[in-house]
């Protein structure tokens, strides 16, 4: 569907309610793979976001089950829920930002939020603890305070590259 991202952004808003700590990437196999993909390249923040999404999608399949959200473990499990997707995306993004010497300019943040559909909190419609909140990510330019929002699990499933958060 051609306008799916646009329609999603005008109808769904992500409301930040909390954050999760960044988990530093230590998985040597994943680090080597990232280094191979980025060696001798100068990447823009858009390319870093795109690569972080691509790696996350390649490494994970979505599950509703409770599984580890540690990015250093979930690559072996190959399954993650929205927490694991956001955690891996966040750790990969921050790792690449550091390798590109861009830590003074950019940061990836792992956020916990509520989804609003035309202003209605959709989490109130479900009794399952799985739907009590939803994880997503913020990529912030520290110098201009410009923010981009990404939902890696949504991106993997529907190919919607960015979302709205107010």
What is the pLDDT, as a whole number, of residue 123? 79
What is the pLDDT, as a whole number, of residue 90? 98
21-50 residues labelled b (16+ CB within 10 A) or e (exposed): ebbebebeebeebbeeebeeeebebeebbe
Is residue 34 scored above 70 in pLDDT? Answer: yes
Phi-psi region of 143 (alpha: psi -120 to 50; beta: other; left: phi over 0): alpha
Give the C-alpha separation, 43 to 163, whole Å: 22
Q: Taking residues 138-164, report their average pLDDT.
A: 93
Domain over 4-158 is classified CATH 3.10.620: yes
Q: Taking residues 1-21, report their average pLDDT.
A: 90
Q: Band of the pLDDT at 125, cuts 50, 70, 90?
A: confident
Query: pLDDT digits over 51-106, tens only?
Result: 999 999 999 999 888 888 999 998 788 999 999 999 999 999 999 999 999 999 99
What is the pLDDT, as a whole number, of residue 28? 96
The number of helices, as runs of H, and strands, as runs of E, in the chain is 6, 7
131-146 residues labelled b (16+ CB within 10 A) or e (exposed): eebbbbbbbbeeeeee
Q: Taking residues 144-149, report their average pLDDT.
A: 98
What is the pLDDT, as a whole number, of residue 157? 83
Q: Band of the pLDDT at 129, cuts 50, 70, 90?
A: low
Q: Taking residues 33-50, report their average pLDDT.
A: 96
Is residue 130 scored above 70 in pLDDT? Answer: no
């Amino acid at each position: 569907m051609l306008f799916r991202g646009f329609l999603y952004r005008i109808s769904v808003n992500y409301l930040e309610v909390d954050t999760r700590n960044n988990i530093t990437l230590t998985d040597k196999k994943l680090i080597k793979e990232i280094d191979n993909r980025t060696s001798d390249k100068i990447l823009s923040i858009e390319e870093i976001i795109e690569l972080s999404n691509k790696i996350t999608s390649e490494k994970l399949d979505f599950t509703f089950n409770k599984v580890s959200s540690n990015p250093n473990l979930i690559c072996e499990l190959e399954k993650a829920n929205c927490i694991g997707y956001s955690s891996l995306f966040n750790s990969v993004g921050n790792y690449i930002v550091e390798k590109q010497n861009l830590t003074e300019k950019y940061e990836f943040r792992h956020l916990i939020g509520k989804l609003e559909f035309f202003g209605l909190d959709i989490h109130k419609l479900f009794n399952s603890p799985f739907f009590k909140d939803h994880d997503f990510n913020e990529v912030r330019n520290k110098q201009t305070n410009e923010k981009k929002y990404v939902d890696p699990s949504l991106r993997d499933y529907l190919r919607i590259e960015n979302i709205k958060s107010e």
